[in-house]
Chains A and B, each alone.
Chain A
Amino acid sequence: MPTVLILGAGSDMAVAIARQFASNKFDIQLAARNVASLSALEQDLQIRYGVTASSHTFDATDFTGHAAFYTALPQPPDVTISVFGYLGSQERGQSDWNEAARILHTNYTGAVSVLNIIADEYAARGAGTIVGISSVAGERGRLSNYLYGSAKAGFTAYLSGLRNRLAHKGVHVLTVKPGFVYTRMTENMKTPAPLTAQPQDVAKDIYNAVKAKKNVIYTRWFWRYIMLIIKSIPEGIFKKLKL
């Protein structure tokens, strides 16, 4: 059975992705900072879907530990999905460097650090799929979340370059740009209901995009058009909006 590694397995989005792949008979490797928090999900996946699941300690900002983390996995995964992220507080991050650094390091530097290692291994193997969960917030900086958005913008550019490099090695790289999703991360935000997806819908989109070897997807699909509009607003007008 193929194996999928989920980096940042504690989030609502990760649970939905793990179940989606497990229901399609993928074995699952769960990785998160607090490994004890994964044991219920590990049992759940094995009982519901009859697959093998394992849990591993992984800290996105512990850059020096990433190589050891990857080589310690029971087997190299066929698919790696980087789900971890940290929305943080834009307001606090503007004046508190610790908060800003945490946002940048979790969403960008940490992802680059671990995916560099996995990309090398996949390139050497000449196979594998890397999925990066970026965000529509990375498409254009806005006053309400530009720290998070700029880190995701960096991550999107990284994935694009990685895809270019690995395309020559038979390795597939998928960039995922979710819009609003009902998760704990957005629980305290007022998001418009018709535009807000369930994590299961996003997980289905991701699974289908991996199968179809898509390069970049928006999820739900209509975010492609919403972002097209947002990106086309002239800067002179955009800077005066409160977005």
Chain B
Amino acid sequence: MEKRLANWGNYPAMSCDETTFSQEEQVQDFISTHSSVIARGNGRCYGDASLAQHSVSTLKYDKVLAFDTTNGVFECQSGITLDQILDIIVPQGWFLPVTPGTKFITVGGAVASDVHGKNHHVDGSFSGHIIDMDVITGNKETITCSASIHPDLFWATCGGMGLTGIITRVRFGLKKINTAYIRQKQIKAQNLEDLIRLFEEYKDYTYSMAWIDCLQKGDSFGRGILIVGEHATPEELNEQQRKAPLQLAAKRKLSVPFNLPSFVLNTLTVKAFNWLYYLKNTKREINNIIPYEPFFYPLDAILHWNRGYGKAGFVQYQFVLPLEKKEGLIAILQKISDAGLGSFLAVLKIFGKQDSLISFPMEGYTLALDFPVRKGLFEFLDKLDEIVLQYGGRLYLSKDARMKQEVFWQSYPNAQKFADIIKTYNGTKLFRSVQSDRLLLTE
């Protein structure tokens, strides 16, 4: 059906012909009668990675195929979302091995973006936990691949933005938990230097990330809050929680019902929010036990929070810089502060080593920033790209809506290898998106 689609950033929006499928033959039929198509999950990538003239929604291909509760192995079709999986596995004492900051993404999307979580420095990205998966490739054949079977297809599919084909089935390993709670520690950092020192100090924690107030100048430049956590043990829970340590009470969700006018989030309101967020922690350090949901998915509590940026939408700018190049962080934050383009959300996190073909993470620091779309923004981001390149970093394709093709080709060392594998499995450019055309991967 022809409809207007946009991903989470509401930018860009375009008219797409989208179809659904619940049986493999149906998607085979669709791709046999179309010359180009891209798979689309729950539309939570931010930019144009899953936009194309023709898209196949995987959302109805969402069946659970097997769940080994003894060894923690989960097998499912690609359209199931992580929130549904959590509802099934948490009560049985299992958790996702890796989860991004929203649970409203599909498993297919998790693979295609090779998502990372707050535990990347310990557990790596999602691809490291995949046992095997099925992909319908360009010659309409379903191929089972893993790190040892068709490894070229496997590694070009993990983080490959759907350009090798349509991911239909995934089998992956889970993480054992004893409670549905997290033992959380929040520590205030007075500035960026302090924050980076804290990251080093707390690097043994499984989960860590920091929120940064990017509008501060002078001595408080880059002040923020480091948040670290571990899965809580039953002994750490209070009496009430211990009665059913793997169950969480259902909570009502708030929603932003429509697009807010774009002036709502301006420098003043962002400043006020960041100021309050920083000051609400009156003590330097706070320790508490909280359910896993607010720890991993704080923004999921407000459905459609993306509408807060107004009709024009926003772009999320996420880059990573190598560990030894942290001065690049200062250079970029300085530029943002100078331009007065405060980001409502600024999240800093440390990545561990990553050994994959085209996935985003590399050992270093990654910063994610939101910018409402407005005049002059893209020129400004092009300048930030130059700094990222200069320090040997790169941008996250799942957040990208505007990167110039040369930035991609210069910053991803395996870009050519990736393009070659796409040629092998998607030689007729059957699978292509607005993003892949823009980055000259399918042009």
**A40 touching B77, Cβ below 8 Å:** yes
A-B contacts at CB below 8 angstroms, number: 39
CA distance A40 to B66 in the complex (A): 9
CB distance from B393 to the nearest CB of A (A): 41
Min CB gap A186→B, angstroms: 8
Q: Is chain B's binding surface mostly helix, strand, loop or mixed?
A: mixed
Contacts of A189 in B (CB 8 A): 1
Rounded to whole Å, the gap between the CB of B399 and the closest CB of chain A is 28
**Which residues 16-40 of B have a CB within 8 angstroms of A?**
19-23, 26
- A-facing mask of B273-291, CB < 8 A → 1, else 0? 0000000000000000000
Evaluate contact between A43 and B66: CB separation under 8 angstroms. Answer: yes
> Given A15-B22, A184-B20, A187-B19: A40 and B1 within 8 A (CB)?
no
Whether the Cβ atoms of A12 and B66 lie closer than 8 Å is no
Q: What is the predominant secondary structure among interface residues of chain A facing chain B?
A: helix
Q: How far is the CB of B66 from chain A (nearest CB, A)?
A: 7
Q: CB of A208 within 8 A of chain B?
A: no
Q: Mark A161-205, 1 if CB is under 8 A from B, else 0.
A: 000000000000000000000001001111000000000000000
- Complex alpha-carbon distance, A47 and B67, angstroms: 7
Contact partners of A188 in chain B: CB under 8 A: 1
The yes or no answer to B331 lying at the interface (CB within 8 A) is: no
B64 near A: Cβ within 8 Å? yes
Q: Is the pair B22, A47 in contact by a Cβ cutoff of 8 Å?
A: no
Closest-by-CB residue of A relative to B67 is A47
Contacts of A87 in B (CB 8 A): none
CA distance A37 to B77 in the complex (A): 13
Selected from B19, B21, B63, the residue in CB contact (under 8 A) with A40 is B63
**Given known A-B contacts A40-B77, A41-B63, A188-B1, A47 and B19 have beta carbons under 8 A apart:** no
In the bound complex, do residue A12 and residue B60 qualify as a contact, i.e. CB atoms below 8 Å apart?
Answer: yes
* Best-surrounded residue of B2, B22, B66 (most CB of chain A within 10 A): B22
Is B303 positioned at the interface, with any CB of A under 8 Å from its CB? no
Instruction: Tell me if A44 counts as interface (CB < 8 A to partner B).
Output: yes
Tell me if B65 counts as interface (CB < 8 A to partner A).
Answer: yes
Tell whether, in the assembled complex, residue A37 and residue B23 are in contact, meaning their CB atoms are under 8 Å apart.
Answer: yes
Task: Check if A48 is an interface residue, CB within 8 A of chain B.
Answer: yes
Q: Does B272 contact A (CB under 8 A)?
A: no
A187 x B1 contact (CB < 8 A): yes
B147 contacts chain A at the CB level, 8 A cutoff? no
Give the complex CA separation of A44 and B65 in angstroms: 6
Q: What range describes how many residues of A lie at the interface? A: 10 to 19
Task: Enumerate A34-55 residues with CB–CB distance to B below 8 Å.
Answer: 37, 40-41, 43-44, 47-48
Query: Are A48 and B64 in contact, CB atoms less than 8 angstroms apart?
Result: yes
Chain A residue at smallest Cβ distance from B26? A184
Contact between chains at A184 and B22 (CB < 8 Å): yes
> Does B415 touch A at the CB level, under 8 Å?
no
- Would you call A187 and B20 a contact (CB within 8 A)? yes
Question: Bound state CA distance, A166 and B26, in angstroms?
Answer: 40
Q: Provided the pairs A40-B65, A43-B64, A187-B19 are in contact, do residues A48 and B88 lie with their beta carbons within 8 angstroms? A: yes
The closest CB in chain A to the CB of B74 belongs to A47
Residue numbers of B with Cβ under 8 A of A are 1-2, 19-23, 26, 60, 62-67, 77, 84, 88
User: Which chain A residues have a beta carbon within 8 Å of chain B's beta carbons?
Assistant: 10, 12, 15, 37, 40-41, 43-44, 47-48, 184, 187-190
A-B contact pairs, 11 of them (CB 8 A): A12-B20, A12-B22, A15-B22, A37-B23, A43-B64, A44-B65, A47-B67, A48-B84, A184-B22, A184-B26, A184-B60
Taking A12-B20, A40-B77, A187-B20 as known contacts, 10 extra A-B pairs with beta carbons closer than 8 A to each other, sorted by chain A number, are A10-B22, A12-B22, A40-B63, A43-B65, A47-B67, A47-B88, A184-B22, A184-B26, A188-B1, A189-B1
